A = this chain, B = another copy of it.
Amino acid sequence: MKKLINDPSNVVAESVAGFALAHADLVRVSNDPLFIVRADAPVRGKVGIVSGGGSGHEPLHGGFVGPGMLDAAVPGPVFTSPTPDPILAATKAVDGGAGVLHIVKNYTGDVLNFETAADLALMEDIDVRSVITNDDVAVKDSLYTAGRRGVAGTVLVEKIAGAAAERLDDLATVARIAEKVNSFVRSMGVALTPCVVPHAGEPSFILAEDEIEIGIGIHGEPGRERITMEPADAIVDRLLGPILEDLPFDSGDEVLLFVNGMGGTPQIELYILFRRAAEVLAERGITVTRSLVGNYTTSLDMQGASISVLKLDAELTTLWDAPVQTSALRWGK
C-alpha cells in the first residue's frame, strides 16, 4: 500500500488539520471532540444543519461546510460513524435558536449515533429534526445498512436544505425540503477497483483485472452484480435504467444530472459518462436543466463513479441556484 499519509491512525486528524489551515476563511475546527464548523457559527435565528459520518468520502461532508450549505460536519474515523459526543457538540455549536437539522446517510451506526445525539440535544432544549438519506437504488439491506443506503444524492440534499436554512426558513420547512430532495433523487454506482483503507493497508475487496461491480456501496460493500468490463456507454445504461424506473422519472421531467467520481477516476472519464447519461435522458424526454460533475462523494482511492438524478421543480431549482460558499461547492456571491 502506498498512500500519502504518516501514521495510519492519524489520517483523519491530520487531514482535518490541513483542511482547517487551507480554509480558515470558511471554517473552524474543534479538535476534542472533533468537528468542523462554519466560521461564523452559530448564526442567530437560522436553522443549523449538521451532517457527518465516517471519513473517506471527502469532500463529503467537511467540504460542504459554509454559508448556504452545512453549519457543521462531524467526521468519524475512516468508514466508521462518529460517536454521539461530537455530534452533540456540533449540534450545540450551530444552534442559533431556530433549531438544528441532522442530515444522516442511512447506515446503521450513523443513524443510531445521530439519534442518540439528537435525544441528548433535546434534553438541552435544542429542537432537532433528522432526515435520513437513502438514495441508492442498487440494493436493500446491505452490509452496514437496513433499507437503502445514502450515497451521493446526500450532497444535493445538503445543498438545497442549506439554501433553505440560509434564507431563514423555519426548521419544519427546512426538514420538509430536505425530505423532498431525498424523495426525488435516485443514485447508483460502479466500481472498477476496490479502495484501500489506511489502517487496513489492503484492498477492501478483490476485483479481477476485467471485472467491475455494478451497484457498489461507498465503503466497497457489495452491489448488485459483478460483470465483465464493458464500454462506458453500456455501464451508464446499466446504472441509469434502475434509477429512472425507480422514482419513476417521466417524459417531461426536468432534472439535475450528477456524475460523481469515487476518488480515483479522472475527470476525463466522468464527462464521458455524463455525455451518455444526458443522451439517454434526452431520448426519454427528460430535460437536464442543472448538472454537477466531479468527486463529491468518494470512497478513498476507488476507481469508479456513480450517477444521481434529481427531479427538479421550481422550489428545488431556486434553492439549488442560491449562493453557496464552501470549499467544495461555491457559486454566487
Interface residues of A (CB under 8 A from B): 2-7, 11-12, 14-19, 21-23, 55-56, 58-59, 63, 78, 190, 192-193, 209-210, 212, 229, 231-233, 235, 257, 259, 263-276, 278, 288, 291, 293, 295, 298, 300-301, 303-305, 325, 327, 330-333
Contact = CB atoms under 8 A, between A and B. Distances in A.
Nearest to A265: B4
A273 B4 contact: yes
A4 B304 CA distance: 8
Contacts of A15: 268-269, 271-272, 275
Number of copies: 2
A264 B300 CA distance: 9
Contacts of A11: 268, 272
A192 to B, nearest CB: 4
Nearest to A291: B22
Given A21-B275, A275-B14, A4 B267 contact: no
Which of A15, A23, A267 has the most C-beta atoms of chain B within 10 angstroms of its own C-beta? A267
Contacts of A259: 22
Given A15-B272, A18-B274, A271-B19, A232 B5 contact: yes
Given A268-B55, A288-B21, A235 B274 contact: no
A303 B305 contact: no
Contacts of A190: 4
24 contacts: A4-B190, A4-B232, A4-B269, A5-B231, A5-B269, A6-B231, A6-B232, A7-B231, A11-B272, A14-B271, A15-B269, A15-B271, A18-B275, A18-B278, A19-B274, A21-B275, A21-B278, A22-B259, A22-B291, A58-B267, A63-B267, A264-B303, A266-B298, A331-B331
B59 A264 contact: no
A230 to B, nearest CB: 10
A192 B4 CA distance: 9
Contact of A300 (B12, B229, B266, B278): B266
B59 A267 contact: yes
Nearest to A59: B267
A291 B330 contact: no
A199 to B, nearest CB: 13
Contacts of A23: 291
Nearest to A21: B278
Contacts of A18: 270-276, 278, 293
B266 A301 contact: yes
B303 A2 contact: yes
A302 to B, nearest CB: 9
B266 A264 contact: yes
Contacts of A232: 3-6
A74 to B, nearest CB: 15
Contacts of A298: 266-267
Contacts of A272: 4-6, 11, 14-15, 18
A63 B294 CA distance: 11
